[in-house]
Structure 1
Amino acid sequence: MQSQVKDHENYLKSFEMLVANSREHQCMIEFIHTVLPDILARIGAGKNTLNMMGLGSGSGEIDLEILKVLHEKHPDAKIEVEVVEPSYAMLNKYKTSLSKMPGFDYATFSWNEMTAKDFENKLMKENSDKKMHLINMIQMLYYVKDPEATLSFYQSLLHKGGKVLVILLTDESAWARLTKTFQNQLYKDGIVDTLTSGDIKSFLDSKKIPYQNYKLQSLLDITQCFIPGNEKGEQLLSSLTEIIDFGKNAPPELKKEVLDFLKNPENYQEVNNRILFDCSTEALVIDA
């Protein structure tokens, strides 16, 4: 079995599959347009230039929504955006989306096709004094070897009054339970897929770092996972396990165990004959 994490083409397919079959992005966008505006209004007030960074920005949909709100709250400021994303396919999709969307003439973009760790090393090597008003770390801390150290480094880049936005699975979500249950069989390659928002909150509490937290309820339709040979169901299984062609490559007993877990009534809701798997996240807005 091979992980999708380092196969960017497969990872992009999985990402698109999850977005299409869950409300995860809609929940984040609702949060960005209802809760985040008041927070962003207090960032860099009166500044001529604001600095925003996206770490693991993927194809950019969420970062661009945040950028719109930041501009609405600071209409006279120019915004310099630093995008850090290791996948060429994702970065290219981000650039393509941006080129088709009018109205971002207030922002300039710097593109960095690299991991958060590589970008950290780059800044340290350059002895950079780069400072940020806002740093987005959305669903990305799973993919660094030391999430706490990564968060600490990037938090140190904040201007006074700046914020880091972290979004991760909640402890209570069924997907978090899935990763913890099968962490030894599935989630390897140096990633920390068992990480949850609770782990980060414990770290922040231990360091007495102030933050605000907001639960984002989200469900993933996994009905077709239980239809033998269904192509969409097989793709969803690969997305959930982060294994390329999980249904074909996993040992039969492991596939059965995963399906039994997904079928457990504790892990799903049934609505209109659809099986909905809990993939709720939590947003943490962390102070400088």
Structure 2
Amino acid sequence: MAEEAQTTCYDSSWVKRFHYFLQQSGEHKTILSALLLNILPGEFKRMGLDKSSLDVLGLGSGGGDVEVQTIALLQSTFPDVPITTDIVEGSIELTNNFKALIAKNTNLQKIPFAWHLMSSEDYEKQVKAQGDLKKYDFIQMVQMIYYVDNLGDTITFYHSLLKNNGRLMIVVISSHCGWDTLWKTYEKEFSKDGVTKWRPSAVVIAYLKSQGLKYEEHVIPNDIDITECFDPSSENGVLLLEFITGNLNFYQSLTPEIRAGILDLLRSKCSTEKDGKVIFNTMISCILVYA
């Protein structure tokens, strides 16, 4: 797709908050540690057994921090098997970040990447219109399921693109973490500048069960120091607070009463306090759905 298109998911203001959250939380490092060491090595070996080629699809791939590493793992697992990769991402800025990571990896430069600068739903429409239903061995959705209009339609369509023995990997916020408590309580008040629909692991799993799909859930512990969020004079604290609540104007758009309630809930039921610091529970679930 021509790159004249504008961002369709994140604007630059939201990207700034997203990057700061990742920097402070180490979320991608935590996810990668679990994926690369424990979850994916065995899955990849089973998935790619006796296959003459492997095809990967990344949806809402962001800056590529996770996808670059998982693709590199797949490549190292099957060094003699050709791999193709399609990447669907609505942000020009994040897509450029992804491309920059590939430019630093000589082995990944051997893999043909097709870039689709659009949302996963627009990509679905385009594929259906063209009648080009390419099948994939591995489809990854890392922290993107909150941005689609229809959860069921999205999972059903992309699951249908899996090859025999393929895997659909959905990484989402766990239903057993502080973030879920916060959003369940205040979802109506949040402006949703970033996240459009709150969908933790339990919502995804409920749909998978309703469709009789086989899956495995792997819980990945994670947390972040949000002490600065309770200091309204802290620019970094405000950035974190705005990302956590999906609201680019936390102090301007919410009433003092609602703000106070959110901050109290964050401290009392969504976090733990240790050595004077407030540690927010951001546990993650990796859900592997089988073809």
Normalised by the shorter chain, which TM-score bucket?
over 0.9
State the Cα distance separating 1:190 from its structure 2 match: 10
State the Cα distance separating 1:189 from its structure 2 match: 7.1
State the Cα distance separating 1:192 from its structure 2 match: 4.7
Cα distance between partner residues in 2 of 1:83 and 1:282: 22
Match of 2:147 in 1: 143
2:210 to 206, 222, 240: 206
Decide which moves more: 115-124 or 187-196.
187-196
Match of 1:17 in 2: 20
State the Cα distance separating 1:6 from its structure 2 match: 4.9
Cα distance between partner residues in 2 of 1:220 and 1:189: 21
Contact 1:138–1:166 (CA<8 Å) still a contact in 2?
A: yes
Cα distance between partner residues in 2 of 1:7 and 1:252: 27
Q: How many residues align?
A: 283
State the Cα distance separating 1:191 from its structure 2 match: 5.5
Pairwise mapping of residues 83-98 of structure 1 onto structure 2 (< 5 A)? 83-98=87-102
SS of equivalent residue, structure 2 residue 247: coil
C-alpha root-mean-square deviation of aligned residues, in Å?
1.7
Match of 1:158 in 2: 162
Deviations 1:64-85 (A, max 9, x none): 1101111121111121110000
Deviations 1:147-206 (A, max 9, x none): 111011000000000000001111111101111111111155795532111111111112
Pairwise mapping of residues 1-288 of structure 1 onto structure 2 (< 5 A)? 6-34=9-37, 35-188=39-192, 192-264=196-268, 266-288=269-291
SS of equivalent residue, structure 1 residue 286: strand
Deviations 1:55-110 (A, max 9, x none): 00000010011011111211111211100001111111111222123321331100
Code of the residue aligned with 1:132 in structure 2: it is: Y
Cα distance between partner residues in 2 of 1:229 and 1:212: 43
State the Cα distance separating 1:270 from its structure 2 match: 2.2
Contact 1:54–1:63 (CA<8 Å) still a contact in 2?
A: yes
Seen in structure 2, the aligned counterparts of structure 1 residues 172 and 187 have a Cα distance that, compared at 3 Å, is farther
Deviations 1:223-269 (A, max 9, x none): 101123111101111111111132244322222121111121x3212
Q: TM-score, normalised by structure 1?
A: 0.93
Match of 2:5 in 1: none
Contact 1:52–1:135 (CA<8 Å) still a contact in 2?
A: yes
Cα distance between partner residues in 1 of 2:194 and 2:252: 23
Question: Where does the alignment leave 5 or more consecutive residues of structure 1 unmatched?
Answer: none
Contact 1:45–1:74 (CA<8 Å) still a contact in 2?
A: no
Cα distance between partner residues in 2 of 1:191 and 1:277: 18
Decide which moves more: 210-219 or 268-277.
268-277
Cα distance between partner residues in 2 of 1:272 and 1:63: 35
State the Cα distance separating 1:140 from its structure 2 match: 0.5
Contact 1:187–1:193 (CA<8 Å) still a contact in 2?
A: no
Question: Where does the alignment leave 5 or more consecutive residues of structure 2 unmatched?
Answer: 1-7
SS of equivalent residue, structure 1 residue 59: coil
Cα distance between partner residues in 2 of 1:40 and 1:172: 28
Cα distance between partner residues in 2 of 1:23 and 1:92: 21
SS of equivalent residue, structure 2 residue 112: strand
Code of the residue aligned with 1:274 in structure 2: it is: K
State the Cα distance separating 1:37 from its structure 2 match: 0.5
Contact 2:61–2:142 (CA<8 Å) still a contact in 1?
A: yes
Cα distance between partner residues in 2 of 1:98 and 1:21: 24
State the Cα distance separating 1:208 from its structure 2 match: 1.5
Seen in structure 2, the aligned counterparts of structure 1 residues 55 and 10 have a Cα distance that, compared at 3 Å, is same
